[in-house]
Chain A
Amino acid sequence: MENPHDTLQSHGEVLHDRINALVDGRLPPARAAELEAQLGEDAAARETLRAWKAQREALRSLHRPLLDEAIPDTLLAAARRGQAGKQQIEQWWRWGGMAAAVVLAFGVGWLSHGQLGSPAPQQLAAARSAQSFVHQASLAHAVFSPEVRHPVEVTAAQQEHLVQWLSKRVGRPLKVPVLAAEGYELVGGRLLSGDGGARAQFMFQNAAGLRLTLYLGAVDSASPGTSAPEPSSQASHETAFRYSGDGPVPSFYWVDQGFGYALSGAISRDELMKLARLVYQQL
């Protein structure tokens, strides 16, 4: 059947495969014992088994302290970005499903009630872009607020420059709300990109190190196709004060004349609402 040379070759390989399986503990105990007994007559094989076991142990202790060492910030930040990206994707899927459900619900409503009360598509789109806005705010909070070394691009020390720069980029004069009475000081801010273009993020921090972010920017206007604003599209430019617990951290958000604001932070709903009202009053 096989020539002696092949048999010899495969015998060596089979033997090594068996020793590997023993060394790596891949065999059920009974089979392992059986195999070890077989090897008992082969001094060279026994020696290989011993040496490979010792080698495996030596390798396992190599760089072991690294497992308990603190993870460098750069790697943590990279992991967080990855995590945020993943959640964004999950969120897109979820929203895709929600949007379909909303369309279906309205479809059913339209069939049963005739044309009365059929919602303007702009309203749907507006609700969706506001949701998207607040979700992006929450993600941006999750990504940047844990940053130790670079939480902001421009620090509060250069507040004037920060405000000028971000105002220019988001195309609207911005103001930084003062939350010092509530214990929150400005850390600084950064420029981000969002659905509707540039977005700005201001970060605040209290004495306990807790961080809040205020996220601002134009909210994608519902219907680029319509030239004359209809009464229904008026709604798309403003939304009431709303709470969103859907993102990584909760947010209060509102849209004023096509410009969105979201205050995000891992604090209670009541506290967050109180702070959001303060921000709203000041802007």
Chain B
Amino acid sequence: MAAGFALRMTHFPLTDHIPSLRRYARALTGDAWAADDLVQDTLERACSKWRLWVAGSDLRAWLFTLMHNIFVNQVRRSLRQAAAGAAVNVDEVENELAAPEAGTAQSLDLQRCLLRLPEDQRAVLLLVSLEDLSYEEVARITGVPVGTVMSRLSRARSRLRELMDGPAAAATAPAQLRRLK
């Protein structure tokens, strides 16, 4: 019994999921700090809601569900603030989006185009592509029917393709030019 506990304690199952949560959060928010904040909020939520996790069920899916809900609430809150006139300075936001991140020009461009997708489409596309979750799992995580997941996925892929292909020069043009719009 004691050995069992020691084993479980040294092998933190939550810790195993942190890298993929971080990557998903980074692609979702496009910002290293915002992403780690989102992961931290998710872990804290998990800590306070352990009771609701059915032991033996898929921990990863549960964590992504928590993260999805937190993210959706954050987006809603910031939309409300924007609607209420809480100044969102477009220039500042643009700077944040263009904050220097490690990566090739191509991945920077991909990240920027991702951020121009509606949040619900972006989330579905990333859960399917990055995490290899099935459409049914993604439906459970995002709380919508599978049909909706499928149509969001199609729309996300079509739109992302347009964004990436559209300004054909985008990939080669200097980042500053794109920022000017």
Across the interface, B161 reaches (CB within 8 A) one of A51, A65, A142, A248, namely A51
A87 located at the interface, meaning its Cβ lies under 8 Å from any Cβ of chain B in the complex: yes
A82 located at the interface, meaning its Cβ lies under 8 Å from any Cβ of chain B in the complex: yes
Chain B residue nearest to A24 in the complex (CB) = B128
Contact B154 A58 (CB under 8 A): no
B60 located at the interface, meaning its Cβ lies under 8 Å from any Cβ of chain A in the complex: no
Contact B48 A85 (CB under 8 A): yes
Q: How big is chain B's contact interface, by range? A: 35 or more
Across the interface, B50 reaches (CB within 8 A) one of A59, A68, A86, A248, namely A86
Q: Of B20-28, B76-84, B91-99, B172-180, which binds chain A?
A: B20-28
A-B pairs with beta carbons under 8 A, tally? 135
**Given that A52-B157, A55-B160, A59-B126 are contacting pairs, would A79 and B6 also be in contact in the complex, using a CB cutoff of 8 Å?**
no
What's the nearest-Cβ distance from chain A to residue B36, in Å? 6
Summarize B's interface: helix, strand, loop or mixed.
helix
List A contacts of B9 (CB < 8 A): 83, 87, 142, 248-249
B150 located at the interface, meaning its Cβ lies under 8 Å from any Cβ of chain A in the complex: yes
Chain A residue nearest to B15 in the complex (CB) = A79
Q: Please, what's the 1-or-0 string for B23-66, where 1 marks a CB less than 8 Å from any CB in chain A? A: 10011000000001001100110111011010100000000000
Contact A79 B161 (CB under 8 A): no
A149 located at the interface, meaning its Cβ lies under 8 Å from any Cβ of chain B in the complex: no
What is the CA–CA distance of A266 and B135 in the complex, to the nearest angstrom?
Answer: 44
List A contacts of B6 (CB < 8 A): 248-249, 266
B167 located at the interface, meaning its Cβ lies under 8 Å from any Cβ of chain A in the complex: no
